[in-house]
Amino acid sequence: MQFGIFSVSDVTRNVLTGKTPSEAERIDAIGRIAQRADETGLDVFAIGEHHNPPFFSSSPTTLLAHIAARTRRIILSTSVSLITTNDPVKMAEDYAMLQHLAKGRMDLMLGRGNTVPVYPWFGQDIRNGLPLALENYNLLHKLWREDVVDWEGKFRTPLQGFTSIPRPLDDVPPFVWHGAIRTPEIAEQAAYYGNGYFANNILAPNFHFRPLVNFYRERFEHYGHGTKEQAIVGLGGHAFIARNSQDAYAQFRPFFEGNPLYGSSYSLEEYAKGTPLSVGSPQEIIDKTMSFREGFGDYQRQLWVVDAMGLPVETALEQVELLATEVVPVLRKEMAALRSPTAAEAPTHASLVKAKYGDAPARQPTPNPNRGDNLTGTRPYQDTAEGIAAKLPLVG
């Protein structure tokens, strides 16, 4: 099982100091947080995609490529990439490039986001949000698996003889999670392709997302990818940890109750009791996370937010340390002890390469005349006499 952290990239005022960090300070801070997650042995770091204040992460591939150069082992992901307002051709290229730069230690989570105005900013209509998400991923899936693509859909110009470059590392596409909190059609699509399903598991009552997770599991089995318990499930969460419960609540309370999203409606205690928010000692965080397993079954990835609501970077770094040293080691043991022997392992690039090639060497795509020509539209062909002749220069 994989454990890690994710960030929504908010730029929020510190209620204790009254200071709001600059975008530059938050971007620098998130790099430090990701690096500490890598150093302490967490498995995953993920960043969201936003195109509006008060967030900073408008270009997750750029940010994650920078973090890849500063880290050694951690898997880098998104939480989420906007499949609705990004061009799937550009996504195929950008994330394949990131996969190469990160030497395979990346995957991505796709979703529609929750910001209504983003659609017209990128020339789309929110009323098409769901069909856009479905069609765009269908194309992205195809672009990563076929060297030469002919395609026609509703929401973008057709493709003829198109080759997305670079090809995925080892000719194995990045693993894809579909993030959704309300849409069974997205869970259906994840199950159809045998991809992962990620329930954010915050901003809702405990186990609110269980029906969607169970639906995904049933459809995963229906499409022949394995049993329901072999489906690939990820859960989000939000944690604040201190050595004892009283200190955790005292330290986190000003940030939670001073945040307009929460504080005007909830006390910290009632919110932590009624939702997946985990506040308290390491043991309390462990117990809360183990309750997720009871409610959702064996799953493959657990991520927590630890840097939101204006927490200073030093506090976020302490949270990473406490997660990695006091919480996750215990969770690894307890989850493993209860895990069904038939439950799926969390996918990695190495496991996907092994599943495709076994012990044979992985394919390393190179430019060749059988992959099409995006510039001229030439169709792929073998090195026949006609093909060779067509490549010879004209003689006047």
312-326: per-residue pLDDT in tens? 999 999 999 999 999
pLDDT of residue 266: 81
Mean pLDDT of 197-224: 95
Q: Residue with structure tokens 């190469």?
A: 100
- Res 388 pLDDT > 60: no
Position 372 confidence tier, pLDDT thresholds 50, 70, 90: low
How far apart CA 282 and CA 328 sit, in angstroms, is 9
**Position 32 in a domain:** yes
**Position 147 in a domain:** yes
Q: Which two tokens stand for residue 250?
A: 């005292």
How far apart CA 175 and CA 272 sit, in angstroms, is 32
**Position 301 in a domain:** yes
**Position 53 in a domain:** yes
Length of the chain, in residues: 396
Paired with 279 in beta bridges are 240
pLDDT of residue 378: 62
**Position 380 in a domain:** no
Q: Which two tokens stand for residue 152?
A: 């026609």
Summary mean pLDDT of the chain:
93
How far apart CA 323 and CA 317 sit, in angstroms, is 10
**Position 259 in a domain:** yes
- Res 370 pLDDT > 70: no
Sign of the alpha-carbon torsion through 65, 70, 71, 77? negative
Domain housing 60: 2-364
- Which secondary structure element, helix H or strand E, spans residue 247, and what is its range? helix 245-257
pLDDT of residue 114: 76
pLDDT of residue 113: 82
Mean pLDDT of 179-195: 95
Q: Residue 308 burial by CB count (10 A; 0-12/13-18/19+): exposed, middle or buried?
A: buried
Give the Cβ contact number of residue 360 at 10 Å.
Answer: 7
Domain total in the chain: 1
**Position 383 in a domain:** no
For the ranges 248-252, 304-308, 381-385, the lowest mean pLDDT is seen at 381-385
pLDDT of residue 375: 74
Q: Are 298 and 337 in contact (CB under 8 A)?
A: no
Burial call 71-81: b when 16+ CB within 10 Å, e when fewer:
beebbbbbbbb
CATH (domain of 112): 3.20.20.30
**Position 389 in a domain:** no
Q: Residue with structure tokens 């200071």?
A: 19
Mean pLDDT of 33-40: 98
Give the residue among 114, 22, 30 at the shortest CA–CA distance from 76: 30
Mean pLDDT of 75-101: 97
pLDDT of residue 377: 62
pLDDT of residue 384: 43
